[in-house]
């Protein structure tokens, strides 16, 4: 192995302790010291919302191993011979003399320690903007065990909680609060929650949360927190309203904790994370950095990004542990894969969104394909919607988003692999994926989406996105928006400003449609919309298209059977719409639009 005599680690969370543990496995003689400012080490930060909700019963479960033994400094000393000093803050780094200055926060003692190799794994810190009243009692983040403990004491039936920010952290916090009976409001300044999704996919998440009682307020930022005479939060004042609150959760994301690295003179990247090379080395070759404090490389966009995830931190820490013991392991980067659940809805994404790809100037083709996550007749079958983004010229898969109440993780992971290797749609249509009714349909939802994409790229199928249709409607363009569902479906819920002709009646009623106008057909998931196009074209209709995703993924206003208006279909409603299809409609057969 290498000649490192003393490996010093700053930070005892995912990246830091993974690096220390891997280094120990490769070199039993090396001295390894880990300094940690806080109390808890090697804890599952991603599990904090589930501790608040009560799904994780005991605090110790967040920092125990598989057999329930707490991962304390004593555990690491006994099992791995790692010296972990909690309540010890590294205050400065002397790169010339290769020492770190340390303060014992319990005693005030100050001392220096020499290193051969050093790892900065200082993580990230929550974004806390200077909003008036932000220092009131009962305003918390959700990043540490201490945060989770404080929130766990505040939540309960009848309480009112406000979540500031509709991102990853905010939505997981929302689930935790609702599970504990809290009246929950999410306030998001942007026009949509989950900016990591495209708009129409994020709306599916928003409507589902609303159907579960969450008040989701988009395009509405917080301007002030108001307290009572005791200094505790009482109200959250937004741009559009005043919301009563017993407590608030700040879910505005995190920024890399680079204070020490910056003071040391290490180079920062364009995202303000620590800049590292493929070996996780900083601008000083004897100092490494890993985890939530570093900037990394996006494999698809080929640009630097800051995407703090526990999975990435663990992989990067492992690479550091190999390299400080003489290895030459590299970290290729990320593709932005993430997954979460919020109140029975599962959300996965990877690669670029359509918005991100277009901002880069890429000409893209997209598809949105709803389908059951397993054979439609199987009892646990639930709806998922898949959106794919590909480069139009080459067919290269750039990104994917999978949203629904069914199984999305294995589809997200498949697309992650395909995006990472730069696969094209044309090369993927006959992947030999596993099939049995409890797990999938004969042609899996992933392959169905890929085949629809292939057909759109080749011109065999002409689809148009819901957003493009809405833009046409808003501009007042003269086209026929053709609903070809059956009467029962139409009576339950419909899109405004449409022409209704059931597919079974279309052949005899074609004379009601103008041949000189664009016709955009749709149904529940647009299989029958696609079939309508195939019927109309031979009859002389020259400009026919189907709308991707149909009613299921239409993210705008709908009209219910009694004439009431609702913002969009909820996933519960969408599952019912899908499962209520009759065999005559063949909506659930394994070949959605264009497949």
Tell me the pairing of strands 117-120 and 6-10. Answer: parallel
Same fold, 139-252 and 463-579: no
Residue-wise pLDDT for 516-567, tens only, equals 999 999 999 999 999 999 999 999 999 999 999 999 999 998 998 777 666 6
Q: Does an H or E element contain 450, and which?
A: helix 445-458
φ, ψ of residue 446 in degrees (nearest 5): -65, -45
Mean pLDDT of all residues belonging to the chain: 93
CB 465 within 8 A of CB 548: yes
Please name the residue that has the structure tokens 């599962």: 346
State mean pLDDT over 262-270. 97
Q: List the end-to-end C-alpha distance of the chain, in Å, as a whole number.
A: 54
Confirm whether 46 is a catalytic residue.
yes
Predicted confidence (pLDDT) at residue 4 exceeds the cutoff of 90:
no
CA gap 173, 203 in Å, rounded: 18
The two three-digit tokens of residue 275, written as one number: 């800049």
Residues 260-283: b if buried by 16+ CB within 10 A, e if exposed: bbeebebebbebebbbbeebbbbb
CB 548 within 8 A of CB 464: yes
**Least reliable range by pLDDT among 60-74, 161-175, 462-476:** 60-74
Half-sphere exposure of 337 (CA within 13 A, CB side): 20
Residue 584 pLDDT level (bands cut at 50, 70, 90):
very low
- Decide if 372 contacts 588 (C-beta within 8 A): yes
Segments making up each domain of the chain, as ranges? 6-125+255-323, 139-252, 344-458, 463-579
Residue 573 clears pLDDT 90, i.e. is over it = no
Per-residue pLDDT at 557: 87
Please spell the DSSP secondary structure of 68-114, one letter per residue. Answer: S-B--HHHHHHHH--EEEETEEEEEEETTTTEEEEEETTT--EEEEE
For β-strands 479-483 and 499-500, DSSP reports them as: parallel
The pLDDT tens digits of the residues spanning 189-200 come to 999 999 999 999
Above 80 in pLDDT, residue 595? no
Q: Look at residue 592 and tell me whether its pLDDT is greater than 60.
A: no
Its pTM stands at 0.92
Place of tokens 């010339």: 96
Confidence of residue 429 (pLDDT cuts 50, 70, 90): confident
Q: Say what percent of the chain tops pLDDT 90.
A: 90
* C-alpha separations of 36 from 30, 40, 148, 315 in Å: 19, 8, 19, 20
> pLDDT tens for residues 380-400?
999 999 999 999 999 999 999
110 pLDDT above the threshold of 60: yes
CATH topology of domain 139-252: FAD/NAD(P)-binding domain (3.50.50)
Which one is predicted more confidently, 3 or 35? 35
pLDDT over 90 at 576, yes or no: no
Distance from C-alpha of 228 to C-alpha of 244, rounded to nearest angstrom: 11
**What would the pLDDT profile of 288-305 be if each residue is shown by its tens digit?**
999 999 999 999 999 999
Are 117 and 27 contacting, i.e. CB atoms less than 8 angstroms apart? no
φ and ψ at residue 359, rounded to 5 degrees: -65, -25
Written in H, E and C, the secondary structure of 238-254 is ECCCEEECCEEEECCCE
Mean of pLDDT values over 423-437: 93
Q: Which of 89, 78, 81 is nearest to 39 (CA)?
A: 89
CATH, domain 463-579, list 3.40.250.10, 3.30.9.10, 2.40.170.20, 3.40.50.300: 3.40.250.10
- Tell me, which fold does domain 344-458 have in CATH? FAD/NAD(P)-binding domain (3.50.50)
Q: Any idea which residue has 């806080």 for tokens? A: 38
- Cβ-count burial of 121 within 10 angstroms (0-12 exposed, 13-18 middle, 19+ buried)? buried
Q: Tell me the per-residue pLDDT of 479-506, one tens digit each, with 9 for 90 and over.
A: 999 999 999 999 999 999 999 999 999 9
pLDDT above 90: residue 127: yes
pLDDT tens-place string over residues 17-49: 999 999 999 999 999 999 999 999 999 999 999
Q: Which CATH class is domain 6-125+255-323?
A: alpha beta
């Amino acid at each position: 192995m290498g000649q490192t005599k003393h490996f010093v680690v700053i930070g005892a969370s995912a990246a830091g302790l993974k690096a220390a543990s891997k280094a120990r496995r490769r070199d039993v003689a090396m001295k390894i010291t880990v300094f940690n400012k806080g109390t808890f080490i090697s804890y599952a930060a991603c599990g904090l919302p589930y501790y608040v909700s009560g799904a994780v019963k005991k605090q110790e479960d967040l920092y125990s191993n598989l057999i329930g033994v707490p991962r304390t400094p004593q555990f690491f000393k006994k099992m791995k011979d790692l010296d972990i000093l909690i309540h010890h803050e590294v205050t400065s780094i002397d790169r010339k003399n290769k020492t770190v200055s340390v303060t014992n926060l319990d005693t005030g003692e100050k001392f220096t320690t020499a290193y051969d190799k050093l790892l900065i794994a200082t993580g990230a810190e929550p974004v806390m903007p200077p909003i008036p009243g932000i220092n009131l009692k009962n305003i918390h983040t959700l990043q540490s065990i201490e945060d989770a403990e404080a929130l766990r004491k505040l939540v309960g039936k009848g309480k009112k909680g406000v979540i500031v920010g509709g991102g990853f952290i905010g939505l997981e916090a929302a689930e935790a609060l609702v599970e504990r009976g809290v009246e929950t409001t999410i306030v998001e300044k942007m026009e949509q929650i989950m900016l990591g999704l495209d708009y129409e996919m994020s709306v599916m998440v928003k409507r589902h949360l609303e159907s579960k009682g969450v008040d989701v307020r988009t395009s509405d930022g917080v301007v002030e927190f108001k307290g009572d005479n005791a200094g505790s939060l009482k109200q959250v004042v937004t741009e559009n309203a005043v919301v009563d609150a017993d407590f608030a959760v700040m879910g505005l994301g995190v920024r890399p904790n680079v204070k020490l690295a910056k003071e040391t003179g290490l180079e920062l990247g364009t995202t303000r994370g620590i800049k590292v090379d493929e070996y996780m080395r900083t601008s000083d070759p004897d100092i490494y950095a890993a985890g939530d404090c570093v900037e990394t490389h996006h494999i698809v966009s080929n640009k630097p990004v800051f995407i703090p995830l526990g999975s990435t931190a663990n992989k990067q820490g492992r690479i550091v542990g190999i390299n400080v013991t003489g290895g030459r392991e590299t970290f290729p980067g990320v593709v932005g894969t993430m997954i979460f659940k919020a109140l029975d809805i599962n959300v996965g994404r990877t690669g670029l969104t359509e918005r991100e790809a277009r901002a880069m100037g890429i000409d893209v083709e997209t598809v949105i394909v709803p389908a059951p996550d397993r054979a439609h007749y199987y009892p646990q079958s639930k709806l998922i919607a898949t959106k794919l983004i590909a480069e139009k010229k080459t067919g290269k898969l750039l990104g994917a988003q999978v949203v629904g109440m069914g199984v999305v993780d294995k589809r997200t992971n498949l697309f992650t692999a395909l995006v990472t290797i730069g696969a094209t749609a044309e090369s993927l249509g006959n992947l030999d994926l596993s099939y049995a009714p409890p797990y999938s349909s004969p042609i899996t939802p992933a392959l169905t989406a890929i085949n629809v994409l292939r057909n759109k790229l080749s011109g065999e199928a002409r689809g148009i996105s819901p957003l493009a249709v809405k833009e046409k409607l808003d501009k007042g363009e003269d086209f026929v928006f053709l609903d070809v569902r059956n009467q029962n479906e139409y009576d339950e819920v419909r899109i405004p400003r449409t022409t209704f002709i059931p597919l079974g009646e279309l052949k005899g009623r074609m004379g009601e449609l103008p041949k000189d106008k664009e016709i955009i057909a749709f149904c529940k998931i647009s299989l029958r919309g696609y079939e309508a196009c195939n019927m109309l074209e031979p009859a002389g209709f020259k400009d026919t298209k189907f709308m991707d995703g149909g009613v299921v993924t239409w993210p705008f206003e709908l009209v219910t059977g009694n004439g009431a208006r609702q913002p969009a279909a909820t996933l519960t409603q969408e599952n019912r719409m899908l499962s209520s299809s009759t065999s005559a409609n063949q909506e659930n057969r394994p070949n959605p639009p264009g497949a």
